[in-house]
Amino acid sequence: MPQATSPLLTDLYQLNMAEAYLAGGMMRTAVFEFFVRRLPPTRNFLLAAGLEQVLDFLETLRFEADDIAWLASTGRFSPRLLDYLSTFRFAGDVDAVPEGTAVFANEPILRVTAPLPAAQFVETRLMNILHLQVLVASKAARCVLAAPGRALVDFGFRRAHGAEAGLYAARASYVAGFAGTATVEAERAFGIRSFGTMAHSFIEAHASEAQAFLDFARARPEGLTFLIDTYDTEAAARTVVRIAPVLAAEGIRVGAVRIDSGDVAALAARVRAILDEGDLRDVTIFASGGLDERELARLVAAGAPIDGFGVGTSLTTSEDVPALECVYKLQEYDGVPRKKLSPGKATWPGRKQVWRRYDADGRMAGDTLSVAGDDLPGAPLLVPVMAGGRRLAPPPTLGSLRERAAASLAALPAAVRRIDAAADYPVAVGAPLQRLSAEADLWIAERRDRP
Amino acid sequence: MPQATSPLLTDLYQLNMAEAYLAGGMMRTAVFEFFVRRLPPTRNFLLAAGLEQVLDFLETLRFEADDIAWLASTGRFSPRLLDYLSTFRFAGDVDAVPEGTAVFANEPILRVTAPLPAAQFVETRLMNILHLQVLVASKAARCVLAAPGRALVDFGFRRAHGAEAGLYAARASYVAGFAGTATVEAERAFGIRSFGTMAHSFIEAHASEAQAFLDFARARPEGLTFLIDTYDTEAAARTVVRIAPVLAAEGIRVGAVRIDSGDVAALAARVRAILDEGDLRDVTIFASGGLDERELARLVAAGAPIDGFGVGTSLTTSEDVPALECVYKLQEYDGVPRKKLSPGKATWPGRKQVWRRYDADGRMAGDTLSVAGDDLPGAPLLVPVMAGGRRLAPPPTLGSLRERAAASLAALPAAVRRIDAAADYPVAVGAPLQRLSAEADLWIAERRDRP
């Protein structure tokens, strides 16, 4: 699959710090955690996603000869750093929340344990990969909750932010419960079923709408869907009724019609009536065009006879929330917990774990964030996934990740599942973590004031 | 540079339509134009960007043997289509508005003229590339207007939507007037100067803040910048004053300090005073942390003594407007203008040109959108850039694109330059285009009603 594997997809400051760590011999074990500081008001939960691409990145990260040559050519890096990078392999450990699991603010989604220069260096690209998929999976999960039982398809490659964004959005939305994507490369790369009909230009290029439909049907008889809003949606629906018998005689069945503009609820109702009267009760109605989870919920609540939806730009750019306040923070170095005190950005130090409790109905009842190794009721969310730079298990199938996501969404408390109202899920902080944080404050006071 | 070159980065419907066009022999010349339907309320103008990456895409688009083999393996495509794709080269013409030019709603930014299947097929990826760079360049231009004379640096790779988004954001913001980027690969790929300091984790990992500064300075003496907000910003500024003579004795000059949190305006004033009193008048102050163009304008208006800014997430995700309502529409096929009538989505048909007029002071006075070949006062914006699938000129330097962008921003009417108030720039529609549109309506009525 197309993949950007340059090790220079990183911030210059990572190389600066690596220089200083090597110069100072600061090679002891560091622990970093990736988490989201605060949830946006329109996200009651997040869905973990993107772990496999992070592990791919860590397993394959290498500086090839041309990378080293280019770095050397800038005259900005020491031979010591270039030597270090030329044999660099990520050989650390990773613990992570499995993809498809619901997560909340301050809960570590991924932990890296490695020698300080290595754990630090991977920050930039690791965040770049993980943020995007968590972002899109969380948006997609809201769409899935808004339109239960409907087939949702990712239509958003064209306005996704580049190739990787489009592909990872297809993957993340599929994990969250989408039925498929319009992006062909996502089918090849990830095995996600691709769907597609025709563009308005196809209708416009033909001498008549009926001729366009006939030409298309004969060329693409499988899963046949007609786009019916180019000129007049109801007139086009009547055209479909008129040509369906012609096609049936050729053994071609009309599968669906797609409406891409206008008052979709009203149009769908009228189109449904036209199709039903025309004896096309099996032809389904698919809607697209500027949809997001709120519009999906509105259409479902209005009882619009729509069987599936294409969701594009709002999904692949997570348009209402195009970025999460995610961070990758040093939590421990050389056995000592670390934190920063920057206003509004203070963090919980140390290696952490999240324990999740469920009620008798299997619904999530609350999480506790505490120190890893603590013994608390509930199921721990973070599990070891990589040791010594190697995956501990082969990549799971996307199907299994979809199953976990579906179970996660089903287990969310009712208030948290709502897409139209903010709800706080209870995340407690364990007493050992509170003690550790207070101790870290003392250590920092000492470090800061030392001359 | 890392680049996703798979021809399968496309919507399935492009392959569907190609099947039908080949089956129907619809190989005549089509004209498509890329434009933005409406500007968001917080964008008074857009900046054209990304053309060179579109031309790269068009020049190198190929279906390799493994692409064809995979398509064949799906069993969904005809031998005729696979044959066509296996020798496919884009051999069309492209006219475009040069990068760095201000553009407005409904103005074509790029026009493709090619046989229908080819002109249609390139839609998905072309939009994916061009949308992203127009989006980020337009956001970056607002930052540049908000902070005149300050050095702006792209800090946003980590939360950009994937690798390509991060790299293209570095390029687009540089074209718009940024001084550089933190992303190392952007320096290698595009020659954009990269900048970097250190992370909070670097300070936290050390036994003391002073020791962290000394270690860093000795390892990275060039362009030395200290991050001073990890624990207590003012205390850290005093530490810088204390260690500066030690470093000076070693021949190392402190270049700047960076503040990444808190009330940046107030902190910068106090830090400036501490540095000045400590005889460090030449040490500049750099600010970062959740900045956008509104915050830049606020800091500049408040007279905060800040010399440069790092702009991250808000830039690379165009956070307030993460997508533009851009489209790539069929305007003409086989010599006949085309348009669609979908509610709210009707378009101006035909091959179009934009003429821009200037007043005596060199400020933009108004544009006219009309039929290409019309003779109107002003400078035409679209110029030929590709013929027969080959570039008409080598790629321009980024420096020349920056110069054009700077001139464009300088020529904007005062109201349009404002980042805090909406303003409409006058775009008239020429009489010939209005006549053409009325005629197209008649042709459509005929096409639609034909049985």
Here the CATH number for the domain that contains residue A21 is: 3.20.140.10
* Secondary structure (DSSP) of B9-72: -SBHHHHHHHHHHHHHT--SEEEEEEEESS--TT-S-EE---HHHHHHHHHH----HHHHHHHH
Q: Provide the number of structural domains found in chain A.
A: 2
Q: Say if residues A202 and A216 touch (Cβ distance below 8 Å).
A: yes
pLDDT, tens only, B162-186:
999 999 999 999 999 999 999 999 9
Residue B176 and residue B169: Cα distance in Å, rounded? 10
Domain boundary at B294, B316, B338, which?
Answer: B316
Q: What is the mean pLDDT of chain B?
A: 95
**Could you tell me which of B401, B185, B134, B125 has the C-alpha nearest to residue A157?**
B125
pLDDT of residue A343: 66
pLDDT of residue B87: 97
Q: What is the longest distance spanned by two Cα atoms in chain A? A: 90
Coil vs helix vs strand at B349: coil
pLDDT of residue A45: 98
Q: Which residues on chain B are in Cβ contact (under 8 Å) with A20?
A: 198, 202, 215-216, 218-220
Residue A171 and residue B44: Cα distance in Å, rounded? 35
Contact A448 B20 (CB under 8 A): no
Tell whether A5 is covered by a domain. Answer: no
pLDDT over threshold 70, residue B149: yes
pLDDT, tens only, B233-266:
999 999 999 999 999 999 999 999 999 999 999 9
Scored b (16 or more CB within 10 A) or e, A400-415 reads ebbebbbebbebbbee
pLDDT over threshold 90, residue B51: yes
Q: What are the tokens at A404?
A: 């976990």
pLDDT over threshold 60, residue A304: yes
**Could you tell me which of A168, A447, A178 has the C-alpha nearest to residue A333?**
A447
Q: What are the tokens at A64?
A: 């090839």
Q: Which residues on chain B are in Cβ contact (under 8 Å) with A447?
A: 206-209, 231
**Could you tell me which of B158, B303, B274, B288 has the C-alpha nearest to residue A345?**
B288
Q: What are the two backbone dihedrals, phi and then psi, of residue B67, each rounded to the nearest 5 degrees?
A: -65, -45
Contact B8 A232 (CB under 8 A): no
pLDDT of residue B255: 97
pLDDT mean over A233-250: 97
Please indicate, yes or no, whether residues B183 and B285 belong to a single structural domain of this protein. Answer: yes
Domain boundary at A247, A281, A316, which?
Answer: A316
Domain that holds residue B212: 147-316
Q: Which residues on chain A are in Cβ contact (under 8 Å) with B24?
A: 215, 219
Mutate to test the interface with A, among B16, B120, B198 (most CBs of A within 10 A): B16
Tell whether B217 is covered by a domain. Answer: yes
Contact B162 A11 (CB under 8 A): no
Please indicate, yes or no, whether residues A281 and A155 belong to a single structural domain of this protein. Answer: yes
Contact A16 B196 (CB under 8 A): yes
pLDDT, tens only, A388-434:
999 999 999 999 999 999 999 999 999 999 999 999 999 999 999 99
Tell whether B405 is covered by a domain. Answer: yes
Give chain A's length: 451
CATH of the domain at B223: 3.20.20.70
pLDDT mean over A140-153: 98
pLDDT over threshold 50, residue A130: yes
Contact B207 A450 (CB under 8 A): yes
pLDDT, tens only, A253-264:
999 999 999 999
Domain boundary at A316, A343, A376, which?
Answer: A316
Q: Which residues on chain B are in Cβ contact (under 8 Å) with A13?
A: 182, 196-199
pLDDT of residue B442: 85
Contact B182 A242 (CB under 8 A): no
pLDDT mean over A314-335: 97
Tell whether A368 is covered by a domain. Answer: yes
pLDDT of residue A187: 97
Contact A159 B323 (CB under 8 A): yes
Please indicate, yes or no, whether residues A276 and A384 belong to a single structural domain of this protein. Answer: no
Nearest Cα of chain A lies from the Cα of B7 at a distance, in angstroms, of 8
Please indicate, yes or no, whether residues A154 and A278 belong to a single structural domain of this protein. Answer: yes
What letter would DSSP give residue B183? B
pLDDT of residue A2: 34
Q: What are the tokens at B145?
A: 């207007």
* Amino acid letter, residue A136: V
Mutate to test the interface with B, among A66, A184, A292 (most CBs of B within 10 A): A184
Q: What are the tokens at A188?
A: 């090849």
Write the residue in B165, B216, B235 that is nearest to A448 by C-beta. B235
The number of beta carbons lying within 10 Å of the beta carbon of residue B410 is: 11
pLDDT mean over B417-443: 92
pLDDT over threshold 60, residue A451: no
Please indicate, yes or no, whether residues A104 and A174 belong to a single structural domain of this protein. Answer: no
Q: Which residues on chain B are in Cβ contact (under 8 Å) with A114?
A: none
Please indicate, yes or no, whether residues A32 and A126 belong to a single structural domain of this protein. Answer: yes
Please indicate, yes or no, whether residues B130 and B172 belong to a single structural domain of this protein. Answer: no
Residue A285 and residue A301: Cα distance in Å, rounded? 16
Q: Which residues on chain B are in Cβ contact (under 8 Å) with A231?
A: 340-342, 444, 447-448
Write the residue in B132, B158, B195 that is nearest to A162 by C-beta. B132
Q: Taking the CA of residue B371 as centre, how many other CA atoms within 13 Å lie in the half-sphere pointing to its CB?
A: 13
Tell whether A4 is covered by a domain. Answer: no
pLDDT of residue B448: 66
Residue B236 and residue B224: Cα distance in Å, rounded? 15
Tell whether A243 is covered by a domain. Answer: yes
The pLDDT confidence band at residue B3, using thresholds 50, 70 and 90, is very low
Tell whether B4 is covered by a domain. Answer: no
Please indicate, yes or no, whether residues B161 and B273 belong to a single structural domain of this protein. Answer: yes
Q: Taking the CA of residue B154 as centre, how many other CA atoms within 13 Å lie in the half-sphere pointing to its CB?
A: 41
Instruction: Considering only residues B447 and A89, tell me which one the structure prediction assigns the higher pLDDT.
Output: A89
pLDDT mean over A172-191: 97
pLDDT over threshold 80, residue B343: no
Q: Which residues on chain B are in Cβ contact (under 8 Å) with A235?
A: 448
Q: Which residues on chain A are in Cβ contact (under 8 Å) with B230?
A: 340-342
Residue B398 and residue B35: Cα distance in Å, rounded? 23
With a cut of 0.90, is the ipTM above it?
yes
Residue B422 and residue B419: Cα distance in Å, rounded? 8
Written in H, E and C, the secondary structure of chain A is CCCCCCCCCCEHHHHHHHHHHHHHCCCCEEEEEEEECCCCCCCCCEECCCHHHHHHHHHHCCCCHHHHHHHHHCCCCCHHHHHHHHCCCCCCEEEECCCCCEECCCCCCEEEEEEHHHHHHCHHHHHHHHHHHHHHHHHHHHHHHHCCCCEEEECCHHHCCCHHHHHHHHHHHHHHCCCEECEHHHHHHHCCCECCCCCHHHHHHCCCHHHHHHHHHHHCCCCCEEECCCCCHHHHHHHHHHHHHHHHHCCCCCCEEEECCCCHHHHHHHHHHHHHHCCCCCCEEEECCCCCHHHHHHHHHCCCCCCEEEECHHHHCCCCCCCCCEEEEEEEECCEECCCCCCCCCCCCCCEEEEEEECCCCCEEEEEEEECCCCCCCEECCEEEEECCEECCCCCCHHHHHHHHHHHHHHCCHHHHCCCCCCCCCEEECHHHHHHHHHHHHHHHHHHHCC
Please indicate, yes or no, whether residues B396 and B438 belong to a single structural domain of this protein. Answer: yes
Mutate to test the interface with B, among A128, A327, A330 (most CBs of B within 10 A): A128
Contact B13 A215 (CB under 8 A): no
pLDDT of residue B450: 61
Query: Which residue does chain B place closest to A23, by CA atoms?
Result: B219
Residue A169 and residue A49: Cα distance in Å, rounded? 10
pLDDT, tens only, B261-289:
999 999 999 999 999 999 999 999 999 99
Query: Which residue does chain B place closest to A186, by CA atoms?
Result: B9
pTM over cut 0.90: yes
Residue A136 and residue A292: Cα distance in Å, rounded? 12
pLDDT over threshold 70, residue A1: no
Contact A215 B20 (CB under 8 A): yes
Tell whether B287 is covered by a domain. Answer: yes
Residue B386 and residue A288: Cα distance in Å, rounded? 34
Please indicate, yes or no, whether residues B258 and B364 belong to a single structural domain of this protein. Answer: no
Please indicate, yes or no, whether residues A281 and A158 belong to a single structural domain of this protein. Answer: yes
Please indicate, yes or no, whether residues B206 and B292 belong to a single structural domain of this protein. Answer: yes
**Could you tell me which of B78, B89, B96, B79 has the C-alpha nearest to residue B117?**
B89
Beta bridge partners of B368: B355, B428
pLDDT over threshold 60, residue A283: yes
Q: Say if residues B205 and A338 touch (Cβ distance below 8 Å).
A: yes
pLDDT mean over B101-117: 98
Q: What are the tokens at B275?
A: 């540095």
